[in-house]
């Protein structure tokens, strides 16, 4: 029996057991989101139940299981991947269009009669989404339950909750002390009229306390809850994760350590007639239900989300240095790659080789910690899958002619990086050069844009798309996401996407670090995406108010061998040449002698 058939049989057995558990709980339909009690994007294995029951390994998607049918709902990034991984499982892939929030509600209503009971674990859905889901389902005559968990009884030998050690973010990289950050948070609590502030999102907890961990792959965070009062701070965490010296430091600073499981009792025991600040988008439905009677709830965006998004000047300087080191590492990889391809060695280069080599070069750089996400190395048709991941059993050999798309990033003590480049293999053809150049035009268009301060970030999206739209092209993903400071590579509140609502909390402010990453994908042929990180900087005031511009942080050549120069304007050529001049100046002192010639060649004016 091959691996695919064996996997499909295993999925059938798991779904069969799940349906039996659902029947015991009187549940007709079960919704399994990609989530954990902290609403994380990347999940510890303990909470990867959607993956365990479906076999789909993508980082987003919702599994809906009924008595005789099951569907997996995914957006355009995963359509090809899901279709392949669900083969033989009996689970049907359903496509999510842009902007859909609860696309499966209509499907449930169409396939299950009124009065059917729909269940979800309230620990895995935000308060906002839980309310919306309840409203939509009950409107269609369905019964909704959010206090059910049939998964735990079925998933035997489930991986344990991670218990990796917590460590301090070294003070030389930190702009504000713990007490200074707690002071800023308490000031925001006072302005909101709150006595308590519940923090459940892991990057907000890590930022608030200047602590880091490694409980979740790629994200330097640790499993915990945080409750901040005006006089007290409670950190709910497995105490074994805290080294003795760190426990003493926290205790000396008035931070009490409570067991991770104590969160329910602590919330139930909050004094009546006090006010609790919580973010309904970043707090689970189940946690809200635990809050004691008589406690007022103030629902607003986490003040920590806004505070941590605006990097201090000292942090931005660390990020600049980090970007230089990261760019130098990638240049060393590219020089090796070009040389190895030219030599035509007997050992083939595969997508897995690319991932391994990038990690090797990056790991030699100062203050490097880990990748910030799984490197995407997609050759030709694989590059057309925006979230493609090569595996030990599914990968391509890089040979012949085509385009190699590489999306990669690192976690450093001085910042988090995320960059995408496209490298030619052999000789790119005219259509490939056209696609590359049009995407480059989109990158340049947004990178050189100035805009009013406090403009909602989603409104910038169309600037990057304009050169593509002019050719009748488009791409399904957003154009940019916020990036953390030695934290999550995807961070809010800002996001440059036509699929996002331009809400007040998404406005652009000084110090925010954001990606700019337009793309173009030819299914079954090739993909192009170019990505730099930028930081918002003030421009001189005008009579029309305050304006911001983007400073490009990423320092790495854009491969000019893929460019059709005739499609670029003189202004775009000037931008590219200035960028490459800066890249050369920044990276020459950081690369080995045998890479210097390569760097000079790749940064020649076009």
Backbone torsion region of residue 494, taken as left when φ is above 0, otherwise alpha when ψ lies between -120 and 50, otherwise beta: beta
Q: Which residues pair with 531 in a beta bridge?
A: 420
State the pLDDT at residue 1.
41
Other C-beta atoms closer than 10 Å to the C-beta of 331 total 26
3-state secondary structure 179-199: HHHHHHHHHHHHHHCCCEEEE
Closest to 334 measured CA to CA, from 408, 239, 260: 408
243 Cβ contact partners less than 8 Å away, ≥ 6 residues apart: 165, 166, 167
State the pLDDT at residue 256.
97
State the pLDDT at residue 186.
98
State the pLDDT at residue 541.
79
Q: Are 204 and 302 in contact (CB under 8 A)?
A: yes
- pLDDT of 99 strictly over 80: no
Domain 3-154 sits in CATH 3.40.350.10:
yes
Q: Which CATH class is domain 310-602?
A: alpha beta
Backbone torsion region of residue 473, taken as left when φ is above 0, otherwise alpha when ψ lies between -120 and 50, otherwise beta: beta
Residue with token string 């909101």: 192
Integer Cα distance of 514 and 364 in angstroms: 26
Structure tokens at 336: 């090796």
DSSP per position, 5-71: HHHHHHHHHHHHHHHHHHHHTT-SEEEE-S--TT--SS--GGG-HHHHHH---SS--EEEE-SS-EE
- pLDDT of 196 strictly over 90: yes
Segment among 100-109, 169-178, 370-379, 408-417 with least mean pLDDT: 100-109
HSE-CB at 95 with a 13 A cutoff on CA atoms is 8
Quick check: helix, strand or coil at residue 264? helix
Q: What is the dihedral of CA 398, 401, 405, 411, to 10 degrees?
A: 50
DSSP per position, 132-167: HHHHHHHHTT-EEE-B--HHHHH-TTPPPPP-PPPE
Q: What global pTM score does this model have?
A: 0.94
Name the average pLDDT for the chain.
95
Average pLDDT of the residues in 546-559: 97
Domains of the chain, by residue range, sit at: 3-154, 167-307, 310-602
Structure tokens at 508: 């652009």
Q: Which CATH class is domain 167-307?
A: alpha beta
Q: What are phi and psi of 110, to 5 degrees?
A: -75, -30
Q: Are 453 and 509 in contact (CB under 8 A)?
A: yes
Closest to 347 measured CA to CA, from 332, 361, 357: 357
- pLDDT of 566 strictly over 50: yes
Quick check: helix, strand or coil at residue 412? strand
Q: Are 75 and 60 in contact (CB under 8 A)?
A: yes
- pLDDT of 501 strictly over 60: yes
pLDDT band at residue 540 using 50, 70 and 90 as cut-offs: confident
State the pLDDT at residue 437.
98
Helix (H) / strand (E) containing 514: strand 513-516
Helix (H) / strand (E) containing 234: strand 233-236
Integer Cα distance of 384 and 407 in angstroms: 12
Domains 167-307 and 310-602 share a fold: no
Q: Are 538 and 510 in contact (CB under 8 A)?
A: yes
pLDDT tens digits, one per residue of 48-93 = 999 999 999 988 899 999 999 999 999 877 888 888 899 999 999 9
Chain centroid, CA 75 distance in Å: 15
Average pLDDT of the residues in 35-40: 97
Q: Are 450 and 549 in contact (CB under 8 A)?
A: yes
Structure tokens at 347: 């050992």
pLDDT tens digits, one per residue of 240-275 = 999 999 999 999 999 999 999 999 999 999 999 999
pLDDT tens digits, one per residue of 69-79 = 999 999 877 88
């Amino acid at each position: 029996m091959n691996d695919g058939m064996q996997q499909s049989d295993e999925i059938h057995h798991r779904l069969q057991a799940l349906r039996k558990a659902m029947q015991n709980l009187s549940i007709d339909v079960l919704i399994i989101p990609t989530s954990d009690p902290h609403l994380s994007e990347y999940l510890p294995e303990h909470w990867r139940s959607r993956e365990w029951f479906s076999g789909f390994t993508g980082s987003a998607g919702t599994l809906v299981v009924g008595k005789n049918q099951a569907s997996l709902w995914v957006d355009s990034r995963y359509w090809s991947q899901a279709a392949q991984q669900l083969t033989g499982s009996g689970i049907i892939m359903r496509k999510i269009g842009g902007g859909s929030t609860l696309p499966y509600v209509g499907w449930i209503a169409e396939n299950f009669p009124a009065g059917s009971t729909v269940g979800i674990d309230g620990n895995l859905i935000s308060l906002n989404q839980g309310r919306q889901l309840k409203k939509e389902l009950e409107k269609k005559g369905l019964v909704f339950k959010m206090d059910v968990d049939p998964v735990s009884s079925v998933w035997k030998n489930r991986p344990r909750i991670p218990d990796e050690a917590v460590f301090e973010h070294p003070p030389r990289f930190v702009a504000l002390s713990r007490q200074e950050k707690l002071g800023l948070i308490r000031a925001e609590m006072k302005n909101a009229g709150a006595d308590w502030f519940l923090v459940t999102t892991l990057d907000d907890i890590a930022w608030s306390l200047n602590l880091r961990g490694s409980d979740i792959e790629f994200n330097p965070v640790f499993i915990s809850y945080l409750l901040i009062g005006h006089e007290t701070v409670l950190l709910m965490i497995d105490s074994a994760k805290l080294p003795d010296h760190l426990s003493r430091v926290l205790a000396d600073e008035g931070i009490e350590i409570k067991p991770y499981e104590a969160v329910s009792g602590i919330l139930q025991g909050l004094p009546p007639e006090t006010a609790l600040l919580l973010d309904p988008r970043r707090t689970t439905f189940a946690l809200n239900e635990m809050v004691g009677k008589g406690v007022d709830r103030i629902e607003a965006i986490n003040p920590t989300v806004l505070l941590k998004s605006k990097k201090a000047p000292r942090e931005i300087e660390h990020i600049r240095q980090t970007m230089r080191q990261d760019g130098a590492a990638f240049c060393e990889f590219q020089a090796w790659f070009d040389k190895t391809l030219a030599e035509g060695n007997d050992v083939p280069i595969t997508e897995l080789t690319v991932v391994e080599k990038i990690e090797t070069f990056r790991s030699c750089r100062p203050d490097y910690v880990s990748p910030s996400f799984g490197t995407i190395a997609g050759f030709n048709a694989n590059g057309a899958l925006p979230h493609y991941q090569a595996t030990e059993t599914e990968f391509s050999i890089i040979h012949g002619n085509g385009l190699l798309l590489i999306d990669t990033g690192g976690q450093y003590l001085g910042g988090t990086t995320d960059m995408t480049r496209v490298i030619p293999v052999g000789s790119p053809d005219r259509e490939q050069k056209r696609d590359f150049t049009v995407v480059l035009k989109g990158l340049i268009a947004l990178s050189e844009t100035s805009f009013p301060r406090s403009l909602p970030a989603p409104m910038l999206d169309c600037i990057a798309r304009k050169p593509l739209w002019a050719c009748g092209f488009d791409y399904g993903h957003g154009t940019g996401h916020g990036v953390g400071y030695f934290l999550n590579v995807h961070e809010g509140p800002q996001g440059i996407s036509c699929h996002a609502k331009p809400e007040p909390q998404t406005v652009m402010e000084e110090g925010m670090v954001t990606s700019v990453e337009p793309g173009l994908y030819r299914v079954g042929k090739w993909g192009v995406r170019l990505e730099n990180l930028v930081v918002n900087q003030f421009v001189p005031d005008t009579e029309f108010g305050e304006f911001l511009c983007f400073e490009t942080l990423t320092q790495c050549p854009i491969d000019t061998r893929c460019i059709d120069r005739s499609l670029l304007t003189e202004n775009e050529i000037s931008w590219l040449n200035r960028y490459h001049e800066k890249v050369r100046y920044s990276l020459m002192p950081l690369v080995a002698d045998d890479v210097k010639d390569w760097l000079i060649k790749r940064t020649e004016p076009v």
